Amino acid sequence: MATVGKDLSQYDKSSLPDATNMRIGIVVSEWNDNITENLFKGAQETLLDCGIDAQSIFRMNVPGSFELIYGCKNMQHTSYPVKNSKLRKDLDAIIAIGNVIRGETAHFDFVCQGVTSGIKDLNLNSSRIPVIFCVLTDDTHAQSVARSGGVHGNKGSEAAVAAIKMAAIKQKF
């Protein structure tokens, strides 16, 4: 198991790029909201801790994990207000937060494959704004709890760190 012995919330802030002027979008699935809200909190707390202003974090809710793709695509093609200005700018990165728990049918496989492929396609084909995959695809609810603020930390925090790093890469080009 990839998370055994690893705390998903740990990061070395001093090794991260300067994030103070970054603008991050977060698309959150409402399905399994007890998990996705914890992932959102982990991401938000990390972004704030790394110097991103609360007014530079933009949230959109979507019904389920499959709808994350559409939400992220819309965020990629929308400009957002700049703090204390009449200007609007694109985002520097987007985090897609969702949770799919294996059930008794093949639905799990279809949703996981679709979301994974959709977010990959957004990164390859859509815009210059990177989309970070923060969709827990676990066998049990307990596994999701462990990765959304439980014993393994918070995958939302890990996704926020990835968003900062990818936004810095984007800013170089």
Number of structural domains found in the chain: 1
Is 1 part of any domain? no
Q: Are 25 and 75 in contact (CB under 8 A)?
A: yes
User: Rounded to two decimals, what is the model's pTM?
Assistant: 0.92
Q: Are 89 and 97 in contact (CB under 8 A)?
A: no
Is 15 part of any domain? no
Report the SS3 class of residue 129.
coil
Parent domain of 69: 20-172
Is 90 part of any domain? yes
Q: For the chain, first and last CA: distance in Å?
A: 36
Cα 85 to chain centroid distance, Å, stands at: 26
Q: What is the pLDDT of residue 44?
A: 98
Is the backbone of residue 84 left (phi > 0), alpha (psi -120 to 50) or beta?
Answer: left
Q: Which two tokens stand for residue 113?
A: 């494959």
Is 124 part of any domain? yes
Domain of 37, CATH number, reads: 3.40.50.960
What string of pLDDT tens digits covers the 173 residues of the chain?
A: 465 566 767 888 889 999 999 999 999 999 999 999 999 999 999 999 999 999 999 999 999 999 999 999 999 988 888 887 888 888 999 999 999 988 777 777 788 888 999 999 999 987 789 999 999 998 899 999 999 988 888 999 999 999 999 999 988 87
Q: Are 72 and 94 in contact (CB under 8 A)?
A: yes
Q: Are 81 and 100 in contact (CB under 8 A)?
A: no
In angstroms, rounded to a whole number, what is the distance separating the alpha carbons of residues 38 and 157?
10
10 Å CB burial of residue 96 (0-12, 13-18, 19+) is buried
Q: Which candidate in 77, 107, 141, 152 is catalytic?
A: 107
152 annotated active-site: no
Is 8 part of any domain? no
Q: What is the pLDDT of residue 1?
A: 44
**Nearest CA among 59, 62, 68 for reference residue 111:** 68
If you search the block for the tokens 């959709």, which residue do you land on? 118
Is 55 part of any domain? yes
Is 155 part of any domain? yes
Q: Which two tokens stand for residue 32?
A: 């399994």
Is 7 part of any domain? no
One DSSP character per residue, 108-129 reads: HHHHHHHHHHHHHHIIIII-SS
